[in-house]
Amino acid sequence: MSPSRPPSVDALARSLADSGLPHPLCVEVARQAISEGRIDEAPAMARQRSRRMLMPVINATGTLLHTNLGRAPVEIHSPARYANIELDLASGQRGSRQATVGESVALSCGAESALIVNNCASALMLVMAALAHGRGAAVSRGELVEIGGAFRVPDVMRQSGAQLVEVGTTNRTRLADFERALSATDVALVLSVHQSNYSITGFAEQTSVAELATLGRPVVADIGSGLLDASCPWLDGPPPEWLEGEPAARQTLEAGADLVIFSGDKLLGGPQAGIIAGRADLVAACGRHPLARALRPGGLVLEALQATTLSYLRRKGREIPFWRMASEPVESLLSRAESIAESVGPSVAAIHTDAVPGGGTLPGRTIPSAGIRYEGDLVGRLRHRDLPIIARIDAGVTVCDLRSVNPADDAELVRGLADAVGGAA
């Protein structure tokens, strides 16, 4: 019913209290509804505003490190207390927020020291600013990558004050190309960037970190994905086949890299962070740079990262949600899928699927998985639930891949599928 005279903003806002939004947000919705002549739609507008806020979702896409869903899920429970983030409890003097967590990160990947910043792009910028400002940083043309959101490695490097020295060609770069560049230009360091979200095949050649280490300049390896150790000692059994060829921090340092930089929320399975690990003197130089304070993480990130690295040091990979999901046997996933399908009804079926690591890691690699199939499109109905279920659509078929679903959410998945199938019918 449209009133002949619009209600007051306050009255309409108070009528939206059941939306759960704080009163100031209800006022904003009420003002918009009145100004646009959509007073009857105000409750729906309030619901839409509520769903724009951060909220938990069930990731049934099979993409374990889904960038749009926060990449690696992190489970941290902490009481509302202060923490000794910059207090040395032994001396009572001011301490370093980097020391304890940095030590555990360094130990977990065989580095002398480590520094934590906001993300991997921050790590790259800080390293370039601290070690190559006003001088050259040599990198292969085939590694001048663009990451998400149209941010490009060359742009990040220029903002640091380092001078980009492009070496070789897009598809082939040899050690001799670097040698020529170093002889002709004032080069402070050599940068190796892992092609984590694309691959060059065919007539291609890259220069290895071991080769770059012979050039007499510090070698900084951006390994991107954040695998700590290629042997995966935190897992029971050998490393998964889908990890084959992925560079790891420990082995990259052993090959001759002076520093490695990588993300905390990808294969590491921790919070969003950027990690600089390697030679203690170079890490210290990064820590002394003014940018280090601007890029430092807060206590919540450090606490989550500490919990993650302690699980690695205990060699208990299943304490880390990402590795728990990634290492779940297909047989277990299929058993869950069959149970869910039986509970929902004959309109859905258990199937074998292929999950992917995601998050710009391991392009083209898949992980055998299992899930639920429905002939038709349910993704909208599933997504619009109070607890959204994010599924994928494949040639008109809705697929819920269980490798990225916490078993504790299976009952909610049953309810969501049953409701969506009933609504579609």
Q: What is the pLDDT of residue 206?
A: 82
Q: What is the pLDDT of residue 360?
A: 75
Q: What is the pLDDT of residue 1?
A: 41
Q: How far apart are CA 259 and CA 213, in angstroms?
A: 11
Q: Kindly give the residue spans of alpha helices, DSSP state H, lying in 259-407.
A: 280-288, 290-294, 299-313, 321-326, 330-344, 379-383
Q: How far apart are CA 170 and CA 199, in angstroms?
A: 12
Closest listed residue to residue 43, CA positions, set 73, 10, 72, 20:
20
Using the structure block, give the residue that is written with the tokens 């950027």: 274
Q: How far apart are the first and last CA of the chain?
A: 31
Q: What is the pLDDT of residue 202?
A: 60
Which residues of the chain register pLDDT less than 50?
A: 1-2
Q: What is the pLDDT of residue 39?
A: 93
Q: What is the pTM assigned to this prediction?
A: 0.91
Q: How far apart are CA 302 and CA 124, in angstroms?
A: 19
Q: How far apart are CA 158 and CA 222, in angstroms?
A: 16
Q: What is the pLDDT of residue 423?
A: 78
Helix (H/G/I), strand (E/B), else coil: 381: helix
Q: How far apart are CA 425 and CA 417, in angstroms?
A: 12
The encoded tokens of residue 419 equal 């409701």
